[in-house]
Amino acid sequence: MTRLVRTTVVASIITILFAMLSMAQMRIDGFAGGPVSRPILFSDGTAAAPSRSYSGDTNLGSYRIGADNEGFTAGGVLRWDYNTARLNLSSGYGLIFNGTSGLFPFTANRVIQRNGTNGQILAVARTWTDDDNNERMALDFEGTTARLTTRADGTGTLRAFQWGTGSAGQWGVDTAGHLYATTDNVNDIGAAGATRPRTGYFGTSIVTPLLNATGASGYQLNGVLVMSATDPTISGGCTAPAVSAANGTAAFRVTIGTSCTGIRTFTLTMPAASEFWSCHGENHTSDAQQQTNYLVGRATSTTAVVMTSYDRVTGLLEDFVASDQYLIHCSSE
């Protein structure tokens, strides 16, 4: 009787084991609900039939693509995978945030942030406490206008914006909206021999300490030097004449010197003009002297102008008066 019972029990256990082994799905638990102490090994699987899946959704899960490369599939199609070097989203699929906006591939070598017809904002924070207290830079659309701006909320402070090449910005916009160069008297708009901007439109004026719109040479119109930033020099005429104050060729003052009896001319040495220099001058010594005589220039070469004194009333040549001062203006063609 005992042997019969044992035989029956063993047969029952074997039947149960075979039934468990033949099951399509199994529950895997450690002893008494504890951890499984050995690896659970799966077959590689495919995108259409992932090796780790669900009874109610067998084409959703993960599978082995190759060495150290696992893929995740939904609807039987690979959606993303990872390996030892990168995490990769499959073509056409994006990284979605809060179920709305997301980053998506956009043709070759491009990524786009989009959410249908809703305008997007891509921001980089300088400081961040929370959504209401921060400093950031934002790339966004305001209506139909694209903008790149700095922003601040709450305890944040609005910051200037700079751009350029390398690690330093060459140009900037301050918090009042003023465009500025980050280094004084260094950066140019346009370059010699390069494609040039065509026209500048200004509402009020251009203010500059040195009229030097084309580099060290001076100011040009249609590629021709009009005024130079280089100061002229004076020679001849009375004894020890001098350029006593200068702003390039635009306006400068000369002191005529001494021993001027019979002297009616002196020579200005100028930067090279395309054709010639045209100069004229007024006596600025006193009101009385200003009414007495004036200067007329005659170019003798592209770099030299002879200035001659004339009587303002008669129009005849008139001697210089020692130590008189003249304000002279020159432009070139």
Give pLDDT, residue 11.
61
150-175 pLDDT, tens digit each: 999 999 999 999 999 988 889 999 99
Q: What is the DSSP letter of 250?
A: T
Stated as kind and residue range, the H or E segment containing 12 is helix 2-21
Q: How far is CA 18 from the centre of its chain?
A: 72
Positive or negative, the CA dihedral 273, 274, 275, 279 is negative
Positive or negative, the CA dihedral 210, 216, 222, 227 is positive
**What average pLDDT does the chain have?**
86
Claim: this prediction has a pTM higher than 0.75: no
Is residue 245 predicted with pLDDT exceeding 80? yes
Read off the tokens for 224: 């021709």
Is residue 287 predicted with pLDDT exceeding 80? yes
Is residue 44 predicted with pLDDT exceeding 50? yes
Residue 71 burial (10 A CB sphere; 0-12, 13-18, 19+): buried
Give pLDDT, residue 206.
64
More confident residue, 20 or 144: 144
Mean per-residue pLDDT for 35-41? 80
DSSP letter for each residue of 172-186: EE-TT--EEESSTTT
Give pLDDT, residue 28.
59
46-99 pLDDT, tens digit each: 999 999 999 999 999 999 999 999 999 999 999 999 999 999 988 778 888 888
Give pLDDT, residue 26.
53
3-state secondary structure of 31: helix
Give pLDDT, residue 56.
94
Is residue 210 predicted with pLDDT exceeding 90? no
Beta-carbon contacts of 251 under 8 Å, excluding residues fewer than 6 positions away, are: 327, 328, 329
Give pLDDT, residue 217.
63
Is residue 211 predicted with pLDDT exceeding 50? no
Give pLDDT, residue 31.
55
Mean per-residue pLDDT for 236-250? 91
Q: Domain spans of the chain?
A: 41-92, 94-182, 228-332
Residue 305 to residue 298: CA distance in whole angstroms: 5
Strand runs labelled E in 236-292: 242-247, 251-255, 265-269, 277-283
Report yes or no: 251 and 284 within 8 Å, Cβ to Cβ: no
More confident residue, 74 or 24: 74
Read off the tokens for 292: 């007495």
Mean per-residue pLDDT for 186-200? 83
Is residue 298 predicted with pLDDT exceeding 60? yes
Report yes or no: 79 and 93 within 8 Å, Cβ to Cβ: yes
Report yes or no: 93 and 83 within 8 Å, Cβ to Cβ: no
Give pLDDT, residue 242.
94
Give pLDDT, residue 193.
78
Give pLDDT, residue 196.
82
Read off the tokens for 51: 């090796």
Mean per-residue pLDDT for 296-303? 94
Give pLDDT, residue 24.
44
195-204 pLDDT, tens digit each: 888 888 877 7
Give pLDDT, residue 4.
52
Read off the tokens for 105: 């591939």
Give residue 40's identity as a one-letter amino acid code. I
Mean per-residue pLDDT for 280-298? 91
Q: What percent of the chain has pLDDT over 70?
A: 86
Mean per-residue pLDDT for 219-245? 87
Long-range contacts of 213-219 (CB under 8 A, 24+ apart): 215/188, 217/271, 218/248, 218/249, 218/271
Give pLDDT, residue 100.
84
Least confident of 17-31, 234-248, 252-266: 17-31
> How far is residue 100 from each of residues 90, 103, 214, 232, 262, measured CA to CA in Å?
19, 10, 51, 69, 92
